[in-house]
Structure 1
Amino acid sequence: MPPSDTTAEPRIARTGRRRHLRSALITLGLGAVLFTVGALGLTPSPPLPAAEDTSTPVRRADDPAAKGSVEALSARLRRLPQDHVGWATLGMAYVQQARTTADPATYARGESALRKSLKLQPADNFQAETGMGALAAARHDFPRALAWATKATTTNPSNAAAHGVLADAYTQLGRYEDSYKAVQRMTDLRPDAASLARASYTWELRGDTRRAQELMTRSLGAASTETDRGFARAHLALMALETGDPVTALREANTGLRAAPHDSALLEARARTHAALGKPRQAVDDYNTAIAITPLPQYLLGLGELHQSLGRTEQAETQYGLLRAQDRLRTASGAAADVDVILFEADHGDPGTAVTLCRRAVRARSFIAVHDACAWALHRAGRDRQALVHADQALALGTRSAPFHYHRAKIHYALGDLNATRKDLGQAMAIDPRFHPLQATEARTMLRRIDGTR
């Protein structure tokens, strides 16, 4: 698909703990909100809506000047209980907090505050409508996120944060051209760290890594909080790592961690970088630290597969056991499986179950990473002709992803197409020759085998 002229660079430029799960509750929440897009990452949450009552200014939840921000907002609302903007701001603060703690109870508190705002001001309440959209997106209910964001942008077309939620929902639902337009509108309204990060992501999706890196660097320069700076550093590190430049990745991660040593995303980025540089001890230490802070499934899977690549079967199974425990609670909650769950089940569980999970997931969310997970699950289940359809959809935007190309290469190989296999393997190795602790080795072996038959 050729790039749309929306989110084009010239227009943007002018608009100048321990390794166990901490509680069953947190595990259940992770099951409900598991999310990763593999090499592509997740765009940051929209900024908090500004308070209209200027008698007592409300700061962003991640503003270091707002000591105990949720507590400060709550104290303010005890004095001004009828302030619907204050309740909306508190709700968004909880959503921001929950995205870093993975505690579902915090999402529930956020929803309670947002609904209180809507009760006080049922109509023309774009702050709460934006918050409800962000909450739905954080829970990965993207149709609901789209509905709330559409309502918010109708209520106030100049609300940049609502256009950000709209863009996120469109992206995850596979409506990419609509998402590019929403990002451009957000950037036109407010060219800040959040909008520039989303603009970067639109180009990353389309395979233009240089433009994506430039825009994420601009997002870093525009960032006014440690949270925004940490996000930008982590994403710059991953973009460097996933284009075969672990030295730059390590520099970005270390710079970010000096300012935010407990940022789990930066720790995971550095763990993956250490693994790529052949430093498994440092990688394991960083993974363990990240998991102690926030036991996200991609961290558990990353650490498990690193242990497996090192022949540490028992340690790998410990991480896989935690993932299985998470998934049992996800199943009990009725939540749909996400990408990491599907890939884990395909590689370390039952491929047939992975296919069942992926079919439900792709119906709810036609995002490229879900198509890739479906392709891999179907391949592992021996359904390669069906798998190829999803593998092609995963790469339809031109995304530069070594894992996506590796997965399609394996599918082509199973179908007997050696020329297509070699092309995809070559692209995977050209993008990032150390893309996975287990699969990169297999990719090199396959290339040698194919070349030896020519």
Structure 2
Amino acid sequence: MHPDRTEPPDPPPSPPARGSGRLRNIVVTLVLGATMFAAGSVMLAPGQSTASLPSGDGRPAGSPARGSIEALQARVTRLPRDPGGWAALGMAYVQQARTTADPATYERAEKALRTSLTVQSADNTDAEIAMGALAAGRHDFPAALRWARRATTSSPHSSSAYGVLADAYTQLGRYDEADDAVQRMTDLRPDAASLARASYAFELKGDTARARALMRRSLAAAATPADSAFAHNVLATLDLQDAGPRAALAEARTGLRAVPGDSALLETRARAHLALGDPARARADYRGAIAVAPLPHHLLGLGELEQFLGHREQAEEQYALLRAQDRIRRAAGTPADTDAILFEADHGNARSAVTMAEQTLRTRPFVAVHDAYAWALHRAGRDAEALVQADKALAQGTRSALFRYHRAAIHHALGDPEAARRDLTEALREPGFHPLHADAARTLLQRIDTTP
């Protein structure tokens, strides 16, 4: 799942959002109607195409796997006026870009999708869905919303279109509308993809019990090993949020048996190892994840672990890669992700981190961006403004140890040790939540407790 699928502590309950009551009905419906899950359901966890693939009884030995980029390239070469083939190829590129962090692959995706829309400009739902996923991958969520609305208009019964709509609304901080889109998606098709989004809706509100129940059902509905790996990874992350690192480790190992080398599961297993006091295994898993996909959150996780272990040179290797990736991002004019903002705040220039966060927040007022902005403001010495943003980050009830630690540090800087103690106590319910900040949280709490 995306790094913004956040972590623990149990904040005070907040009033339910308008859409959350409807989402609760999903849980009841699923208990009564588990047999509704389609055996052949498709996981559309931000971004898989629903475009049909060529039919046939088989393929020659040694030919590209059906649905692979090579096979889809061969298809559009053979059928250049096939809008579905171009849409499927574009979505395949979007998926590849999300795992390789290669901006050039997004450019290839856009070229394929624009070709599909040129061949068929109206009612081309597959291309519209894929354009929404492409915009989301580039963190252009207003554009993702526009494409998602176009897709739901051209195909009002497409659950996948509502999935992209839900993703856009979520990242734009429009959580009630996201809940409505998830409800509609689930009403249309209660499959692995819709159940995963329903799970995330509850996770954002801090209801990890319902989030876990829905993700278990998403796992039961999984149609491919990749779908299963995604579900196992989310379940392991929820275990970490609920201070269950051993359960998280077991869940991650189960997922890796299904999909060996899955980078997200390797990263989550690294976090479980770290929480259990085994940094050597954590380090090995982070390196494995980076070998598969050098994504920013993998690089940052390993870099901060190396720093925690006193391996400054190895940490700097990861930080150098992060800086190189950020130069590419800046050249492309793409808004910064939260990892880049937090990295700049902790290991670069805090004022630059503030500027980055402000730019991102304009088009992505999501809880994780509010948190990153809060931390950047704190590091820049602007704590009164930081507290406003930290409160926004936690306003939905999201259980995140890191968010809680950030707000605790801000409260302490503002001279409110009692508020800081409350947040630190919640953060440390997940004792290994961060290689560097977990120790800082323990030190700060001890200082507060021993100050007369």
Global fold match (TM > 0.5): yes
Superposed displacement of residue 119, structure 1: 1.0
Over 3 Å counting, the alpha-carbon distance change for 1:12 and 1:109 in structure 2 is farther
Report the AA paired with residue 6 of structure 1. R
Contact 1:142 1:173 in 2 (8 A): yes
Which amino acid is 1:49 matched to?
T
Deviation at 1:67, TM superposition (A): 4.1
**Residue type matched to 1:44 in 2?**
A
Matching residue of 1:224: 223
Change (3 A) 1:73 1:317: closer
The equivalent of 1:450 in structure 2 is 448
Q: How many residues align?
A: 421
SS at match of 1:7: helix
Q: Give the TM-score normalised by the residue count of structure 2.
A: 0.89
Go from structure 1 to structure 2 and tell me whether the alpha carbon gap of 1:114 and 1:453 turns closer, same or farther (over 3 Å shift).
Answer: same
Partner of residue 251, structure 2: 252
2:139–2:334 Cα contact (<8 Å) kept: no
**2:15 aligned residue:** 2
Say if 1:131 and 1:13 are closer, same or farther in 2 by CA, change over 3 A: farther
Per-residue CA deviations over 1:79-98 (Å, capped at 9, x if unaligned) read 33322222222222222222
Matched with 1:208 is: 207
Q: Take 1:365 and 1:58, find their aligned partners in 2: how far apart are those partners? A: 45
Q: Which amino acid aligns with 1:249?
A: A
Contact 1:388 1:408 in 2 (8 A): yes
Distance 2:67 2:201 in 1: 34
1:50-199 alignment runs, 5 A limit: 50-51=51-52, 56=56, 66-67=65-66, 69-199=68-198
Question: CA separation of 1:181/1:15 partners in 2, compared to 1, >3 Å: closer, same or farther?
Answer: farther
- Give every structure 1 segment of 4 or more consecutive aligned residues whose post-TM-superposition deviation is greater than 6 Å: none
Distance in 2 between the 1:54 and 1:348 partners?
50
How far apart, CA to CA, are the structure 2 residues paired with 1:262 and 1:106?
Answer: 22
Relative to 1, partners in 2 of residues 1:121 and 1:423: Cα closer, same or farther, differing over 3 Å?
same
Letter in 1 for 2:147: W
Length-normalised TM-score, structure 1 = 0.88
2:432 paired residue number: 434
Counterpart CA distance in 2 for 1:307 and 1:2 is 41
> How large is the Cα RMSD of the aligned pairs?
2.0
Per-residue CA deviations over 1:23-72 (Å, capped at 9, x if unaligned) read xxxxxxxxxxxxxxxxxxxx922442142x8755999xxxxx94462222
Using a 3 Å threshold, how does the CA distance of structure 1 residues 438 and 90 change in structure 2: closer, same or farther? same
**Alpha-carbon distance in 2 for matches of 1:11, 1:57:** 38
2:38 alignment partner in structure 1:
none
CA-to-aligned-CA distance 1:126-169 (integer Å, 9 cap, x gap):
11111111111111110000000001101111011110000000
Counterpart-to-counterpart distance in 2, 1:281 and 1:73: 41
State the alpha-carbon separation in 2 of the partners of residues 272 and 83 from structure 1.
45
Aligned to 2:50: 49
Tell me the percent identity.
Answer: 62
Instruction: Quote the offset at 1:201 in angstroms.
Output: 0.3
Deviation at 1:190, TM superposition (A): 1.1
Unaligned runs of 5+ in 2: 1-13, 35-43
Read off the aligned partner of 2:50 and give its amino acid letter: P
Instruction: Quickly say closer, same or farther: Cα 1:295–1:58, change in 2 above 3 A.
Output: farther
Q: How far is 1:339 from its partner?
A: 0.4
Structure 2 CA distance for aligned equivalents of residues 106 and 370 of structure 1: 25
Question: Aligned pair in 2 of structure 1 residues 426, 76: CA closer, same or farther (>3 Å)?
Answer: same
What's the secondary structure of 1:201's corresponding residue? Answer: helix
- 1:246/1:253 CA distance change after superposition, 3 Å: same
Shift of 1:75: 2.6
CA distance in 2, matches of 1:245, 1:174: 29
Partners of 1:115 and 1:135 lie apart in 2 by: 12
1:125–1:343 CA distance, 2 compared to 1 (3 A): same
> What letter matches 1:420 in structure 2?
A
Q: Which amino acid aligns with 2:21?
A: D
Moved more, 7-16 or 257-266: 7-16
Name the aligned partner's letter for residue 10 of structure 1: V
Cα separation, partners in 2 of 1:107 and 1:302, compared to 1, 3 Å: same
Rounded to whole Å, the distance in 1 between the matches of 2:183 and 2:168 is: 15
Task: State the match for 1:238 in structure 2.
Answer: 237
Q: Is the 8 A contact 1:12 1:187 kept in 2?
A: no
